[in-house]
Structure 1
Amino acid sequence: MIASILHLGRLLLAWLGCYLFLCILFNETVFEPLTDRDIGGYAALLALLLGTWVASGVFSHIRRVRLVAGSVNGSTLSNRQRRQIEIPFEAGEAFDLIDAAIRELPGIEIVDSARDSLQVRAKVARIDPYGSGHGRAQGDDRAGGWALDRFGAHRNQILATVTPNGDDAGSVTLICEPEPAAWTDLFLVDHGTNLENAEAIGRAITRRVAERRRGEAARVRQTATEKELTVAKLNLLHAQVEPHFLYNTLASAQVLTRTDPARADEMLGNLIQYLRHSLPRTEDAPSTIGEELERARAYLDILKIRMGPRLQLQVDVPEALRGVLFPSMMLQTLVENAIKHGLEPKPGGGTIWILARQVDSSVAVTVADDGRGFTAEGAGTGVGLRNVRERLRLAYGNAASFSIVANFPNGVAATITVPHAVNGTTTLGGAVMAAGAYHE
């Protein structure tokens, strides 16, 4: 109430002061033929009419400000509005956001934006809430009638400046004001149009920030869901032990218990060792080349008992490379492929080589055989190899590779190359490192 009275009093004093000045100025010319009594009567009447006209305009202004802002005070009643808005994006993104918000204002006419200087200037048609909408900006003399701002400008202006506030935040200084100079505020009101523009821009920024946050939250949820699905699939693959291999091993051990108990005990020991290394790992527990080599050797030792002299094994893995991080079950996949598609179909069997070498900042692990090679009889479905490529991509991106070529003179050589990293120096993709192989 006090702010409204002060606002009304300020404008009444400004207009009445101007009126008195004009009366004094023209007293000796315009009013010279009249008596002092007549002059006093006319002056009082004109002062009353002027005060009524000013009061009606101020009353309309106060009522509209109350409707727009919900409260009336010195700040909301002002024709010139200033806002300081913090945007949780870097300065370039904040500029794009404020520029788009200003361009979507109703009645926008001119927008001049400069991204390098992070500044936006705009002209907005002043809407007459008690006249014919945009009529005044279009030159309609009937618009607004004899309202207090009748002789004011037909447009408002906006200045927005973005100030970088760190790497991930921007501060926007927003100024909404009439086109005329500030001294005209002593005589004119804007019916809350600049307050309305400032509030509209603030709402637009809030909506766009919330929309961006919802999009980010949706992407995070989608990523988390995809990761959970990947972990579930790969853990299932990791826990999978090929049924035929398990059944054949147990059947062979059963036979050996009657004919050669020592070899049966050795086979069961190797099977226990293999199954222990095949248990699913926790998401944050990567394997190493040494651990994967122990699993592969346990598997091959079982097959050596079953295949006898038809299977030979040569391992050349330096001790210094055994602690290098390596995807779980991936070496096992290559070994099983070499047995299933290379040596088992070959009547005389053959040899499997497991080699590891450091190449610059990477480590290359190769499984080679002298079996059937890339023949129709020896070819598999390719599912296991596709799984190897996909898991490497998920774990390392472009930092790892997989290749498979013909071995000379017979067989196949498959090589996996991964970055050289040991426990405590590099964190690999958890979902992939916790995964197992998918056997062809």
Structure 2
Amino acid sequence: MFKSLFFVLRIALAWSALFLVGSLFWSATPGYHDQHLIPLVYFITLAFVITGAFSHLGRVRLIAGEVDSSALANRQRRRIEIPFEAGEAFDLIDAAIRELPRIEEVESARDSLQVRAKIRRPQPYGRHWVQRLNPADWLGSLRNQITATVTPVNGTGSVTLLCEPEAAAWSDWFRVDDGTNLENAEAVTRAIARRVAEHRRNEQRAAAQAATEKELTVARLNLLHAQVEPHFLYNTLASAQLLTRTDPAQADRMLGHLIQYLRHSLPSSDESLSTLGDELERTRAYLEIIRIRMGARLAMEVDVPDALRAIALPPMMLQTLVENAIKHGLEPKPGGGTVWIFARRDEDRVMVTVADNGQGFGVATGGTGIGLKNVRERLRLLYGERASLAVVANVPEGVAATITVPAVAAAPADASKVTP
């Protein structure tokens, strides 16, 4: 209450002092002057001024919920900390100011991180003709102005917001703004809080979506991995059972290679990356088993530098290409043929090629192509555009399939975290 009364008294005293100076000047000028008119004008002026001051007090109380010297002032200052880098904080405050009602003449300077704007002052109590007699409205423009400056602070943006009348500071002794600058400051602060909260919600949604997509990716990878698990295990065990009756030594060799194959298959129970060396050993064991079945019709040549054996490679991918070469190229060919496996490095990429001199593309083998489709899909899910599969005709006959992957050394990690 004391602050409110002091506020009204200050404005009344300022107008009284101004009226006193004006009266003295009026009386000192030559000519006839009706001295009885001066008190009447004074009391009418004071009535308008005091009424306007009390209206200002009431509106400030409605907006702020309390009346103190800071809320009563025509000029409002806010310090707002925005948890974004300065450029993003500038975009946020610029958008918040531009969305204010009655905004005019917005000037944005991104390099200096500053926004200036003019805003027409509302008439909260209408514009009755009687109010036009209020001397406080004769002191200049009824517009406010906003200045916002963003200061970079440790990766965040600190905003200094100024809301004030479009008039010199001395006018505050004689005129009130009906709480409009307080209202502008509160509106900008709320807009910033809303946008920051919306940004946080978007981040949370994006994180949840990324987690969901990761789970879906892992599920798809596991499904694709299950589709390429070798079905030859059943045939191998059946062949070994038959050989135990006719050729126990060959059966023992076949079971030894099967054990070696399974040993290298155990780490692939999930979709973590294997190494080119481990995949090569698994594929060798597979080829040895197939060679027992095909005999002299199958030959293999391997040329993989030791330096590339630690390169990360998705499990079962190399074997899928070899299975394709055997099933669709060499097994149907009467004389059989050779499978070549070689690897080369080209800067930050590694190319692994499986080639054969089998029947090639010209002969239908009844395959569905699911193996190569799965290889391409797994590469896409694991590496995106950083990996590829190319299948071309071999010269003079057969097919050559090349996997290109980033040259990354394998480490125990989730497959979805592979980086070049």
The answer to whether the aligner puts 1:327 opposite 2:322 as a matched pair is no
State the match for 1:88 in structure 2.
Answer: 83
Post-superposition CA distance 1:301-336 (Å, at most 9, x none): 221122222221211222222122222221112111
Listed as ranges, the gaps of 5+ residues in structure 2 are none
Deviation of residue 256 (structure 1)? 1.6
Post-superposition CA distance 1:185-205 (Å, at most 9, x none): 001000110111111111112
- AA aligned to 1:160 is A
State the match for 1:78 in structure 2.
Answer: 73
Listed as ranges, the gaps of 5+ residues in structure 1 are 133-140, 434-440
State the match for 1:128 in structure 2.
Answer: 123
Deviation of residue 393 (structure 1)? 3.7
- Worse-superposed segment, 394-403 or 363-372: 394-403
Alignment of 1:275-290 (within 5 A): 275-279=262-266, 281=268, 285-290=272-277
The answer to whether the aligner puts 1:356 opposite 2:343 as a matched pair is yes
TM value normalised by structure 2: 0.89
Distance in 2 of aligned mates of 1:33 and 1:324? 105
- AA aligned to 1:156 is N
Distance in 2 of aligned mates of 1:194 and 1:128? 13
Distance 1:211 1:196, change over 3 A: same
Paired-residue identity, %? 62
2:229–2:316 Cα contact (<8 Å) kept: no
Distance 1:389 1:256, change over 3 A: same
The answer to whether the aligner puts 1:337 opposite 2:324 as a matched pair is yes
Distance 1:297 1:143, change over 3 A: farther
1:234–1:432 Cα contact (<8 Å) kept: no
Distance 1:281 1:191, change over 3 A: farther
Distance in 1 of aligned mates of 2:320 and 2:402? 12
State the match for 1:438 in structure 2.
Answer: none
SS in 2 for 1:57: helix
* Aligned residues between the structures: 417
Distance in 2 of aligned mates of 1:121 and 1:78? 20
The answer to whether the aligner puts 1:105 opposite 2:105 as a matched pair is no
- Higher helix share goes to which structure? 2
- Worse-superposed segment, 82-91 or 98-107: 82-91
SS in 1 for 2:209: helix
State the match for 1:57 in structure 2.
Answer: 52
The answer to whether the aligner puts 1:431 opposite 2:416 as a matched pair is yes
Distance in 1 of aligned mates of 2:42 and 2:307? 102
The answer to whether the aligner puts 1:237 opposite 2:224 as a matched pair is yes
Alignment of 1:229-308 (within 5 A): 229-240=216-227, 242=229, 244-279=231-266, 281=268, 285-308=272-295
State the match for 1:138 in structure 2.
Answer: none
The answer to whether the aligner puts 1:413 opposite 2:400 as a matched pair is yes
Distance in 2 of aligned mates of 1:301 and 1:93? 62
Distance 1:408 1:85, change over 3 A: same
Name which structure has the greater RCO, CA cutoff 8 Å, separation 6+: 1
Post-superposition CA distance 1:341-367 (Å, at most 9, x none): 111221222111111223334322111
The answer to whether the aligner puts 1:206 opposite 2:201 as a matched pair is no
State the match for 1:188 in structure 2.
Answer: 175
State the match for 2:137 in structure 1.
Answer: 150
The answer to whether the aligner puts 1:225 opposite 2:212 as a matched pair is yes
Of the candidates 143, 159, 162, which is equivalent to residue 147 of structure 2?
Answer: 159
- Worse-superposed segment, 121-130 or 3-12: 3-12
